[in-house]
Amino acid sequence: MDFQLSPSQLEFQETARRFAREQLIAVAEEIETDGAPISRNWLKRLADMGFLGINVSEEYGGLGLGNLEALLVLEEFAKVSSAVAFPIFESCVGPVRAVEHFGSDALKTRIIPQVCAGDYIVAVAMSEPDAGTALTDLKTRANFSGGEIIINGSKRWCSGGGHSDGYVVYCRLSDEPGAKGIGAVFVEKTTPGVSFGEPEGLMGFRGIPSADIYLDNASVPEENLIVPAGGFAKLMAAFDLERCGNATMALAQASGALEDVLDYVQERKQFGKPIADFQAVQLKLAEMSMRVEASRLLIHRAAVNAEDGLPSLIESSSAKCFANEISREVTGAAVQLMGGYGYSKQYPMERRMRDAWGWGIAGGTIDIQKINIASALVGRRFDQRK
């Protein structure tokens, strides 16, 4: 058991940190002001640096590195902002990995290299108006006809909705009830019958567009089938990796807040001395640091222990749940320590606190992660309908 990063991992982490801090702080501020996602030109620059598809097979244009390397880079970018890190999230731990693990060779060859090159964005379409936490209640239906898959339904809370080029759409592919009838199909934005609702106005996540998706007899070729009916467990296995990405995005709000507040308390003076000299501040800093380090260890454990590139349910849910909770605590404490400066939109701290709350909702709420953990501990799923 080795808790040290290798020299190559440290070098890659530092490269990401330097690039994000030197190149993207102004971009993050612009995104926060106008709400537009990071530009396609920046996607190409990220791709040229090797930051897209870090843990994707070299066969499909990725670097072929591990999940840990991807999460190290993701944290450094997300310390700057969730929005500038989101392309890395989507390309390394997002739904494109479900395509890589379970899609047809034709689909993988057509989509994944474009993502790694910064030419294409893939999002996931899971939730529906009546199926969020109770995802197996989803009603979007897909039928096979003459070599095509015809999809009808609607999706809600899709991060990237209306902006991304393609969507991994969870849908009902048979008449089997519950999870047995669910699979996933790849649907491109330009597919006839696909339309989008108005962009959501959210508390945080500026620059991460979200909108409803409507599918009205949307027709795609059968090669776009990712997982057939009965493959819901496979989709959730791929989603366990996305949970680690969510956890890292949450962690980064906390670790970035800690770094900034450490500088602040040593510079800010009251009563003739730096506020870091006050014991109450010292205790708060120690508590923040312990939470950040514990969260990072849980995430890295899940990534390193992953078999076939996909983490276990209990380890990914533990990492996400803990990171989501401590992110809210640490960013809140940082805002308090910085006082008016922490509450001001002129500084990134209040943005971190708003985004921290979002990560505890996105990708499965904190409470549902606790249900997942308890389920793994006792060795059976809990039927919430009984």
Upper half-sphere CA count for residue 260 (Cβ side, 13 Å) = 24
Where residue 191 falls among pLDDT bands split at 50, 70, 90?
Answer: very high
The phi and psi torsions of 219 (rounded to 5 degrees) equal: -115, 125
Strand ranges for 77-200 from DSSP E: 122-125, 141-145, 148-159, 166-172, 182-188, 194-196
Give the pLDDT confidence of 292-334 residue by residue, as tens digits.
999 999 999 999 998 667 888 999 999 999 999 999 999 999 9
Instruction: Reply yes or no on domain 233-378 having CATH 3.70.10.10.
Output: no
* DSSP H or E run through 211: strand 210-221
Cβ neighbourhood burial of 254 (10 Å; 0-12, 13-18, 19+) = buried
Residue 117 is given by DSSP the state: T
Q: Whole-angstrom Cα distance, residue 142 to residue 193? A: 13
Q: In this structure, are residues 181 and 229 in contact, taking their beta carbons and an 8 Å threshold? A: yes
Question: Where are the CATH 2.40.110.10 domain residues in the chain?
Answer: 122-230
Instruction: Reply yes or no on domain 122-230 having CATH 2.40.110.10.
Output: yes
Residue 85 is given by DSSP the state: H
- The token pair that represents 276 in the structure block: 């870091």
pLDDT given for residue 384 in this prediction? 75
Q: Whole-angstrom Cα distance, residue 112 to residue 61? A: 7
Question: Where are the CATH 1.10.540.10 domain residues in the chain?
Answer: 7-116
Residue 327, helix vs strand vs coil: helix
CATH class, 7-116 region: mainly alpha
Q: Which of 363, 382, 378 minimizes the C-alpha distance to 93?
A: 363
Q: Whole-angstrom Cα distance, residue 263 to residue 10? A: 23
Q: What is the pTM of this model?
A: 0.94
Bridge-based pairing state of the strands 166-172 and 122-125: parallel
pLDDT given for residue 104 in this prediction? 94
Give the pLDDT confidence of 147-185 residue by residue, as tens digits.
999 999 999 999 999 999 999 999 999 999 988 999 999
Q: Which of 42, 61, 57, 55 minimizes the C-alpha distance to 12?
A: 55
Read off the pLDDT of each residue in 323-348 and give the average, rounded to a whole number.
96
Question: Where are the CATH 1.20.140.10 domain residues in the chain?
Answer: 233-378
Upper half-sphere CA count for residue 92 (Cβ side, 13 Å) = 32
For residue 287, give Cα distances in angstroms to 38, 221, 280, 283, 327.
34, 54, 11, 6, 12
- The answer to whether the Cα torsion of 372, 373, 377, 378 is positive or negative is negative
Cα Rg of the chain, angstroms = 21
The phi and psi torsions of 318 (rounded to 5 degrees) equal: -65, -45
Q: What is the mean pLDDT of the chain?
A: 94
Give residues with Cβ within 8 angstroms of 30, minimum separation 6.
none
**pLDDT exceeds cutoff 90 at 265:** yes
Share of the chain above pLDDT 90, in %: 88
DSSP letters for 263-283? HHHHH-EETTEEGGGSHHHHH
